[in-house]
């Protein structure tokens, strides 16, 4: 039975964005099995216990144990290949995670895609006052409208000039340098399940740029039905968890709300946020 049978294979994002599952390994499994079963099979090899088919309760318990104690190699037994259509500025954020094999559309061979990312009015945000790389509330309607118009003009002019210079014989590999980051690219993105979970833990975070987070959310939604126990553990022990440092544990034990002077200002701010989440 094909584990992708009767499951959604793609999610569209905005006008041109797309996340699609192309293939996976294992591809064919026994009826009713998921990626979780392949992970459990790999884990049980270490103690020679693959002869008896365990119950789903036992499988779920094993997955949660593996995740809880950071036994990661069994999760590497699953690989997923995605196709993504995305603007270059998002692609550069995703590729920074450095945990996947990628083959990308090349503007050295072909002309740029006539597809550009243009934000909606509500998507034009102001620079954050406390996060150097983030943004916060919406810009005014007037400023957002002006920004959108400028974005459209830059994209249109860049594509027009690219075509003009190609007609003059300018090589594509140098001609492409003036294309804006809003230009869409596409790639095949193959990743093992362990690294996918690592990627998602980073890119589903609320501090991640919204436009990048939308791609992570699409991957998450597509893969979750294929590994229900693993994603349950991922939500319980990663997404929904709080990690405490040695200094934070000491502060909680001492029933104080401030870290020692050894900590940095950033650590103290983050600790205050954790206490708030814990209701302390």
Query: Residue 77's CB: how many other CB atoms inside 10 A?
Result: 19
Identify the pLDDT of residue 50: 62
Identify the pLDDT of residue 29: 59
The token duo for 85 is 């259509």
Identify the pLDDT of residue 258: 78
Give the pTM.
Answer: 0.88
30 CB burial (10 A radius; 0-12, 13-18, 19+) = exposed
Burial code (b: 16+ CB inside 10 Å, e: under 16) for 244-261 equals eeeebeebbeeeeeebee
The correct CATH number of 10-101+183-239 out of 3.30.1360.170, 3.90.1150.10, 3.40.50.2300, 1.10.238.10 is 3.30.1360.170
pLDDT in tens, 30-69: 667 889 999 999 998 877 666 667 888 999 999 999 999 9
Query: Residue 242's CB: how many other CB atoms inside 10 A?
Result: 10
Give the active site residue among 60, 176, 194, 203.
Answer: 203
Weakly modelled stretches of the chain, pLDDT under 70: 1-8, 28-31, 48-52, 131
Q: Closest Cα to residue 175, out of 91, 110, 104, 86?
A: 110
The answer to whether residue 203 is catalytic is yes
Identify the pLDDT of residue 28: 57
Identify the pLDDT of residue 129: 76
Distance CA 101, CA 72 (A): 19
Do 162 and 176 touch, CB atoms closer than 8 A? yes
> Is it true that the peptide bond before 26 is cis, omega within 30 degrees of 0?
yes
Residue linked to tokens 């998450």: 220
CA 89 remoteness from chain centre: 14
Q: Closest Cα to residue 88, out of 174, 159, 161, 187?
A: 187
Q: What is the residue-wise DSSP string for 68-110?
A: HTT--GGGGG-EEEEEEEEEHHHHHHHHTT--SEEEE--TTTS
Q: Residue 185: what are its φ and ψ, rounded to 5°? A: -125, 180
């Amino acid at each position: 039975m094909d584990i992708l049978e009767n499951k959604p294979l793609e999610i569209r994002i905005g006008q041109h964005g797309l996340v699609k599952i192309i293939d996976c390994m294992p591809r064919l499994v026994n009826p009713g099995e998921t990626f979780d079963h392949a992970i459990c099979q790999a884990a049980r090899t270490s103690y020679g216990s693959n002869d008896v088919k365990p119950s789903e309760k036992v499988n779920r318990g094993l997955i949660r144990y593996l995740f809880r104690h950071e036994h990661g190699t069994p999760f590497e037994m699953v690989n997923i290949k995605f196709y993504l259509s995305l603007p270059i500025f998002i692609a550069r954020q995703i590729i920074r995670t450095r945990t996947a094999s990628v083959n990308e559309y090349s503007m050295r061979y072909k002309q740029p895609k006539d597809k550009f990312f243009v934000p909606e009015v509500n998507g034009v945000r102001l620079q954050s006052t406390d996060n150097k790389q983030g943004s916060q509330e919406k810009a005014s309607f007037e400023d957002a409208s002006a920004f959108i118009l400028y974005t459209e003009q830059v994209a249109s002019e860049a594509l027009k000039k690219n075509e003009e210079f190609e007609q003059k014989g300018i090589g594509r590999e140098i001609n492409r340098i003036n294309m804006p980051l809003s230009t869409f690219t596409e790639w095949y993105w193959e990743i093992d399940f362990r690294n996918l979970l690592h990627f998602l833990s980073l890119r589903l975070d609320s501090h991640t740029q919204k436009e990048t987070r939308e791609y992570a959310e699409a991957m998450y939604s597509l893969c979750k039905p294929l590994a229900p126990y693993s994603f349950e553990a991922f939500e319980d022990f990663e997404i929904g968890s709080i990690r405490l440092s040695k200094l934070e544990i000491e502060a909680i034990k001492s029933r104080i709300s401030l870290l020692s002077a050894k900590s940095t200002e950033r650590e103290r701010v983050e600790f205050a946020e954790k206490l708030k989440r814990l209701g302390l």
